[in-house]
Amino acid sequence: QHFAALRGTIVYFIDDPFLVGKEKAFVCHEDGLLIAADGIIKAVGPYVKIKSQLPVGVEIEHYEGHIISAGFIDSHVHYVQTGMIGSYGEQLIDWLNNYTFIEEQKLKDPAAAREMSSVFCDELLRNGTTTAFTFAAVYPHTVDALLEETERRNMRMIAGKIMMDRNAPAALLDDAQSSYEDSKELIQKWNGRGRQQYAITPRFAPTSTPAQLEAASALWREYPEVHVHSHVSENLDELAWVKELFPEHASYLDVYDHYNLVGRRSLYAHGVHLNEAEMRTLHEREAAIAHCPTSNNFLGSGHFPLREAKRLDRPVHVGLGTDIGAGTSFSMLATMNEAYKVAQLRSYSLQAVNSFFLATLGGARSLDIDDKVGTLAPGHEADIVVLNPRATKIMDVRMQRVSSIEDVLFVLGTMGDDRSVKATYIAGKKTYGA
């Protein structure tokens, strides 16, 4: 048996603090001990209480002054866009046409896809992200490349081949039938193989014909256990375009809903401009939104109405996403920093505890994998990040004035980035850090 034992300030969630409040949702053991056996968390609690459960001979890794959290979950990212971060000057539709559709064609080369997969996984782990919900490109081999890489590293990963049969360069198009067949083959090959899972991935309504959305719908009926991943309501020109292409539908989300693509295990990125009826539909169907603040700011898309989404009478599942390559950082801490400022611009303040929820259990609940990851409660997979709130000189100076755990988390979520990631564990094994 392989054991891991980590001592430090342990934080995790057992419920949604937006809904039940911090006191009922958030657990903190200031001097805590976590014990994992064969990749599963066996015990967690105050060090003095738990240490007797430590098998003889197992060495404790003592992370004094560090925060031990569930590994971050990036709820929306495009691994194939890793090479195009910071493409200058455009908003969504021009950015897609002028940069993104050029970049994604480079992944037609399987060797390029393998190389990118390796860079991407290294970057996730360096940033303490242990699971990602990721778009591949239209080419099926881009799913194989990533999931072969994550299988080797034993990372929990959810990926899907883009379905896209119009309004993009010919080299990036599939068709309704081939996208159905290729996706089906990938589901059969990958979904549930080790820690790999599949998402049916129509890029967004404007790049799929009704026939392709119908194919995606048929596929989900056949494989209800897989995920659905797309974009919704990111940019105002995009909304107008969807209205033109699908005039018979009441709203953007209604297009997906019409094809029964809104439900548990479906997640839509952005949702910046959702209306009340769409929020209600997301709530009723138990679908999720990925809040991607660095991307929304970078593309000038708008400010996601998080407080509206979390309204107590019809709360929506929300995770936090980097949306690389429109997003500007792989760091979920940097993404929290941006989420805080977006909330401020919408005239409310996002508590650090709530940000950490979005980046961990919130993402896991959004993806319906909260029985496996997103928290450090016993029985879950031991995907863990160890964070140093004194990683830089200025953070150290700041920390001299800080005492409560809320303030420590807020320092991390304001000043933190990859430099604050001391170690990352995948299924109980340290895969990043000295």
The residues that touch Fe ion, with contacts defined as CB under 5 A, are 269, 323
> Is 161 one of the binding residues for ligand GUN (CB under 6 A)?
no
Tell me how far the alpha carbon of residue 5 is from its chain's centroid.
Answer: 26
Which residues sit opposite 70 in a β-bridge? 384
Cβ-contact 45, 32 below 8 angstroms: yes
Complex with Fe ion: residue 133 or 139, whichever CB lies closer = 133
Q: Which of 174, 323, 338, 417 binds ligand GUN (CB under 6 A)?
A: 323
Torsion of CA 357, 358, 362, 363, to 10 degrees: -130
Distance CA 379, CA 75 (A): 22
Judged by CB, which is closer to ligand GUN: 161, or 231? 231
- 63, 120, 190, 204: which one binds ligand GUN (CB under 6 A): 204
Instruction: Give the one residue of 6, 116, 326, 334 binding ligand GUN; rule: CB under 6 A.
Output: 326
Assess 201 for contact with ligand GUN (CB under 6 A). Answer: no
Which of 69, 100, 196, 375 is the binder for ligand GUN (CB under 6 A)?
100
The answer to whether residue 231 forms part of the interface with ligand GUN (CB under 6 A) is yes
The item of ligand GUN, Fe ion, none sharing an interface with residue 234, based on CB under 5 to 8 Å by kind, is: ligand GUN
Residue selected from 165, 234, 257, 417 as contacting ligand GUN according to rule CB under 6 A: 234
Q: Is 333 exposed, middle or buried (0-12, 13-18, 19+ CB in 10 A)?
A: buried
Contact call for residue 66 and ligand GUN (CB under 6 A):
no
Radius of gyration of the chain (CA): 21
- Closest approach, Cβ 329 to ligand GUN, in A, equals 14
Beta-bridge partner residues of 229 = 267
Nearer to Fe ion, 231 or 422 (CB): 231
Q: What number of other Cβ atoms are within 10 A of residue 170's Cβ?
A: 5
Euclidean distance between CA atoms 37 and 304, whole angstroms: 40
DSSP labels for 304-344? --HHHHT-TTS--EEEE---TTTSS-S-HHHHHHHHHHHHH
**Least Å distance between CB 102 and ligand GUN?**
12
Could you tell me which stretch among 92-100, 111-119, 258-266, 346-354 binds ligand GUN (CB under 6 A)?
A: 92-100
State which residue, 204 or 246, has the beta carbon closest to ligand GUN: 204
Among 7, 203, 317, 372, binds ligand GUN (CB under 6 A): 203
Phi, then psi, of 80 in degrees rounded to 5: -75, -10
Q: Could you say whether residue 295 binds ligand GUN (CB under 6 A)?
A: yes
Q: N- to C-terminal Cα distance for the chain?
A: 23
* CA separation for the pair 228, 40 (Å, rounded): 27
Binding site for ligand GUN (CB under 6 A): 78, 92, 96, 100, 203-204, 231, 234, 295, 323, 326
